[in-house]
Chain A
Amino acid sequence: MVGLEDSIKPLLRPSDEIKFILECVLLPPSASNDNTAPDASGIKNYSTLRHQRIVAIITHKEGGDNWEEGSVFVLKRKLFSSSSSMSNELEIHRVFPVYGDFTMTMAQLPQDSNDTQTFKLPRTRFKLTINPGQTLIGNEPVDLATDDVSALKDVLTECRRLKELSEVNSPTQTYSWLASYANNNNNIFIPSPFPDLRNSVQPLYSRLSPASPGTTGDDLNDIVLIRDEWARSRARNQCRRGRVRLNIRLGTFNVNGKMPTQDLAAWVRGSTKNAPNVASIQHSLLPPVSEISPLSLGEVVKDPYDLREAEGASPSLVSSESPAIYESVPVPLVQPEVPTVSFGKTSESIAPKPDPDILVFGFEELDLSTEALLYSTSTAREDAWTVAIFAALGEKAQMYEKLASKQLVGMLIIIIVQKSLKACFSHVMTSSVGAGIMGLMGNKGGTAIRLAFTPPASSLEDLDSALGETASTDEHHHGIEHPGPTILTFVVSHLAAFDDMVSKRNADFHELSKRLIFDSSNLALTSDNSQRNSVGSASSQSIQDTNSSMLGGMAPSQNLVSVPEKFGVFESDILFWMGDLNYRINLPDADVRALLSSESWKNKLEILKHFDQLKTSIREKKAFEIFLEYDIHHLPTYRFGGGISTDSLGYDTKRKPAWTDRILYAFSPLTAKLEPSSYTGHGEITMSDHRPISADFSVDVDLFDKNQLHATAANLFRQVQGMEERAKAKLSQTSIDMGDILCAQIQILTYLRLTGNLVRCTHEKFLTNTNFLFPVPPWLSASHTTGLLLPNEHTEITLLAFIDNKIASRFNLGPRDLNCTLIIHTLMGKDHFISIKAEYQYTCFANKLSRLTHLPGPIRAMKSHNDLLGEGKAINAPREIVRLVNWLMSCAHPTEDLFMVEADPDIVDDIREHLDTGNEFPYSHDTRERSIPIAFGAALMELLESLPEYIIPKELHGRCVAVEDRDEAFEVLDEFPPESVNVWISVTAFLHYIVQNSSSRAEEIGMYFHRSSSVGTLMVFLQRLHSHPSSLVFFATTCYLRQMTRRIFALLWVIRSLLCISFTKSTIRPH
């Protein structure tokens, strides 16, 4: 036995482990088909060494013990050597992933005298059948015989364990590790589950194995990942014939056990103000939407129509003046690839919001009765709410019908679709999971619906005509004979309550994402039993077929109809997750209420959002990592009192207001496009202690032929299979001189060209994984970190140098030399070195105030730390800040727009350069050019923002905020460190000065200081960075933003306090 293990081990990769081994004999295929014993001669042939087989259970573990995948290998002895009988060498014959319908069964073999003689086996002899399951193509079951009962038991037990494991983990399993065992001799099928959204939204490089120079990592696995990604995305992009737009409206409402007693139109249909068909609404049987709310939840919410008009982007191709036309062309088309198409030439800009194609409503606390907690069969409440929704749809109600719903105790999800589109929806599956009391009860948990949308035939015809071609007489609409579907999943969940239960909510999310499983064996019955049109029926083929083709045809799979399969929520193209997620705001109750009721804090929601627990959890990757949320412009939706004590805004005084109700989304950028267009709270619906929210999305789904996609992917896959054997790459340069690197200036550097070595070997293909392997310098980033190149292809790698304030504060007065070597790794091949030369230029930005006051002169002239002034020799205030303030104060023609408009970045950079070098500003004090003082203002802001520490020491923030009068303010001021107090006085005195000399109010200036740091500056950064986004830069920007918001928040309070005090210039201490 140990000998066998040693023979198998060399065939395996080190990451894979042998669990059990069993020696067997291959039974002839006939023996399995009919029970009649094969004739003696046949058996005899099978008794030789040629038919010996070794069954081995091999497992692969990753990321700790929780993630394990199992496989059964059937090995045989190598027979080519002359002494075949003595060969110890084994080869892998078959590989079976323990997955899906895989089974391994045993049966006692009949006691045939012939057999007994031939096999020379003892009495008990077992037949072992390994059946790969129906998901496997061209992989017949294998029948083996063995007499080793104890080993057989071990193998079977282990198989059962692995199978259970695979059922638990199925959404995350890939079995990609088996790919490296694939060769021509054995036909391995890698079961490829539907691409997981959690993967498809994440950059490829982040999924590769950790590697470093001199250590190859798991290159084989990485190759599989890169190859799959390449084939999948290339096939999809080649086969996409256009896109079809779906308008989806979602809403969620915690109804607190109430029955519908109010008109839900605002929630169900969105704002009806300015709607073009307002007249028809008035004619409807329902009372018009009344202004019943004492509150204005939609304070900052723009009317969605306005939004559309403002953006000038109404890609809807449908004129909704006539509902008849609308119904005849149910799905507006979008063809980004065909710019000549213009269905919407009839005044696009004033096109009203199209009616949603899909309406999805989630409810929580539908039923609060005790018995409902345990078990609920009644659909009375669901029916009541459904009726209310259709009533709210008014005259449009006739256009819609309910497609599916799923209730779990208090949670309910209802999907309503346009009747004309109903045939396009198929494979509707539902799932629900309790996560409440004892982790199982349905008072908390989730309920979900998964469906496939296949574009209707009419849209294909429209596409044809849009392409300017005569409608083809045959039924091949541009080859789209079998339109492929897009998978949409909707989850409604109600997570754990209470302020301090964040981690429970996060855990609930993870629990639900694991346990919400859709089982295709109980496809939800769609009430429509009528004949579907041809496209509909095409789309109603097996969902497995759909999946494999959308996956990109990693494995050929046909004839898979009726195989039950399980899908997780992330196995979708588009995923919406909404409900009462119960996340609160991490600020003291009094602060939340003060901010909410404040008139002057125009950006109060920004501040509150910053402390929102859900946003924080997403940011810290604790839950909902891959999800996005549209900007919240509505007030918190929880908790409103019904007669109990409430604050001035109507919020319950016992519960801190929070955005408990949310609508989040995620989508695969490869297969779908999604644009949110509204996100609104509906304060006018007051029946519950929560307010309902709604969101509109336009979703563009791909128009493609799934068979073509499958074929293309299979072709592409064949093209690159095995290419790692000959990996080779060539770089255009091996050294790059980046020159001087300045803080906050982006330098787009040399384009590095990566090309195939075509001179020596024209057929060569290679994989490149340009993973930057070793300590990535914080200031440098590269585009295109992972990829695959064919022989004639090349790619350009853009290197981007960017030093933000955080890095600058480390580099200032440190070594100027930033030279480094980048390493580009070719999988299974070479590490390429690129020497980078760069020199850092010191800047007065991003230094501590105490360092600035110890500078003997301009910072550019400094050699090192040692040039700083000694203790006690410090100057009074940083000369750079004083220079800026002085220039602004002596400006002959101050502009009202100072701090109010965006500055010219070139002038700002020039001012920064003059601050660093100490040279005179080349701008005259009596310039009439408005942009000059504006740029000086911006430079001052940038300098203040770049400080690595608070101007006002953090420990004094509390006292600053509490300041009530002038004397107290001066007391606090006295405790500032000397350099801080002078900066503070210079800046606030200046602010006071310009407030006096202009009509703009102090409040506005104060607002600017907040706005500019959190939004304005960010926008400038993002604008500059937009063309070269990189994770590094993005990360840096985010860090930067987070820091700023907190600091300016504190600063602003103090400015407010101090601006109330009458300052005079005399309070500035002499420099």
Chain B
Amino acid sequence: MSKQFQFKLVLLGESAVGKSSLVLRFVKDQFDDYRESTIGAAFLTQTVTLEDQTTVKFEIWDTAGQERYKSLAPMYYRNANCAVVVYDITQSASLEKARNWIRELQRQADPSIVIALCGNKSDLSARRQVPEEEAKKYAEEESLMWAETSAKTGEGVSDIFTAIAKKLPLTAPPSARAGAARGTTGARSGVDLNKQPAGQNSNEPCNC
């Protein structure tokens, strides 16, 4: 019996750490060396199938990393079930920014949000400024998921999203979960097959 879940996921992190590239790799398995800076927020979806045939559909909001749009971020992580906070392993300042984002999420976002810290550009390890241990230790302290990825080579990209899918609470009834993920539309009720339509009379002849 397969089940489908739907979750809202938001990407946060400093400008130029590779958030959009990470999403492009995950959703379309493509990479683009010269990507323009995201001005706005892109909406994409991708479905992950787990071993038990459970499918998890991510509604991904890829946000702009530039500082001047920081005030708009809360609108995007509002109601998010999970967040991927990205830093660039070749820029130690980007980890600092990531820490700020994580602090903000812990303070402002839904308390049950699943946060993954993601060190991107692992293909450039020759220019590494952020040691694996440092980020890993921080992630453990804050009980975050952590991984290093390379959007360019694809290394670790699908793994981190699958890991998030597994960590999400897949026990909740699918309809309720999907509703929560959809924010405004979540107010609409799920299915109750036992519900009888009002005024139903089973003795009535069966012709419409």
Which residues on A are within 8 Å of B, measured CB to CB?
A: 1-3, 5-7, 9-10, 14-15, 17-21, 61, 88-89, 103-106, 150, 152-154, 156-161, 163, 210-218, 734, 774, 821, 823, 828-833, 835
Contact A210 B184 (CB under 8 A): yes
Q: Is the interface of A mostly helix, strand, loop or mixed?
A: mixed
Contact A10 B191 (CB under 8 A): no
Contact A835 B68 (CB under 8 A): yes
Closest-by-CB residue of B relative to A20 is B193
Which residues on B are within 8 Å of A, measured CB to CB?
A: 1-4, 10, 39-43, 55, 59, 61, 64, 68-69, 71-72, 75-80, 174-175, 178-179, 182-186, 188-191, 193, 197, 199-202, 204, 206-208
Could you list some 24 contacts between A and B, CB below 8 A? A6-B2, A10-B174, A14-B182, A15-B185, A15-B188, A17-B188, A17-B191, A18-B193, A21-B193, A61-B188, A103-B208, A160-B208, A211-B184, A214-B183, A215-B78, A215-B183, A774-B75, A821-B72, A830-B42, A831-B42, A832-B39, A833-B40, A833-B69, A835-B68
- Which residues does chain A contribute within 8 Å of B188, judged by CB atoms? 14-15, 17, 61
Contact B40 A831 (CB under 8 A): yes
Closest-by-CB residue of B relative to A731 is B39
CB-contact partner of B184 in A89, A159, A217, A830, under 8 A: A217
CB distance from A748 to the nearest CB of B (A): 24
- Which residues does chain B contribute within 8 Å of A9, judged by CB atoms? 4, 174-175, 191
Contact A19 B197 (CB under 8 A): yes
Contact A17 B189 (CB under 8 A): yes
Bound Cα distance A215, B185 (Å): 9
Contact A14 B40 (CB under 8 A): no
Bound Cα distance A823, B202 (Å): 53
A-B contact sample (8 more), CB < 8 A, given A156-B208, A157-B206, A213-B72: A2-B193, A3-B1, A6-B1, A61-B188, A105-B207, A215-B184, A829-B42, A830-B40
- Which residues does chain B contribute within 8 Å of A152, judged by CB atoms? 206
Q: Are A14 and B197 CB-contacts (below 8 A) given A88-B2, A213-B41, A213-B72?
A: no
- Which residues does chain A contribute within 8 Å of B200, judged by CB atoms? 154, 157
Bound Cα distance A610, B190 (Å): 48
| A-B CB proximity, top 10 nearest | A214-B76, A10-B4, A215-B183, A213-B75, A832-B40, A831-B41, A830-B42, A156-B206, A833-B40, A214-B75
- Which residues does chain B contribute within 8 Å of A14, judged by CB atoms? 175, 178-179, 182, 185-186, 188
Contact B64 A833 (CB under 8 A): yes
Closest-by-CB residue of A relative to B200 is A157
Bound Cα distance A210, B164 (Å): 30
- Which residues does chain A contribute within 8 Å of B39, judged by CB atoms? 734, 832-833
Bound Cα distance A994, B80 (Å): 68
Bound Cα distance A158, B208 (Å): 9
Closest-by-CB residue of A relative to B38 is A830
Closest-by-CB residue of A relative to B204 is A157
CB-contact partner of B197 in A15, A105, A158, A828, under 8 A: A158
- Which residues does chain B contribute within 8 Å of A19, judged by CB atoms? 197
- Which residues does chain A contribute within 8 Å of B80, judged by CB atoms? 214
Bound Cα distance A831, B207 (Å): 50
Contact A88 B1 (CB under 8 A): yes
Closest-by-CB residue of B relative to A158 is B197
Bound Cα distance A366, B18 (Å): 78
Contact B2 A89 (CB under 8 A): yes
Contact A106 B207 (CB under 8 A): yes
Contact B72 A6 (CB under 8 A): no
- Which residues does chain B contribute within 8 Å of A211, judged by CB atoms? 184
- Which residues does chain A contribute within 8 Å of B75, judged by CB atoms? 212-214, 774
Bound Cα distance A163, B197 (Å): 14
CB distance from A155 to the nearest CB of B (A): 9
Closest-by-CB residue of B relative to A820 is B71
Closest-by-CB residue of B relative to A106 is B206
Bound Cα distance A297, B72 (Å): 61
Bound Cα distance A718, B117 (Å): 45
CB-contact partner of B76 in A2, A3, A213, under 8 A: A213
CB distance from A765 to the nearest CB of B (A): 18
Contact B208 A163 (CB under 8 A): yes
- Which residues does chain B contribute within 8 Å of A158, judged by CB atoms? 197
- Which residues does chain A contribute within 8 Å of B43, judged by CB atoms? 216, 828-831
CB distance from B193 to the nearest CB of A (A): 6
Contact B208 A105 (CB under 8 A): yes
Closest-by-CB residue of A relative to B190 is A17
Contact A823 B184 (CB under 8 A): no
Bound Cα distance A216, B43 (Å): 8
Closest-by-CB residue of B relative to A760 is B32
CB distance from A323 to the nearest CB of B (A): 58
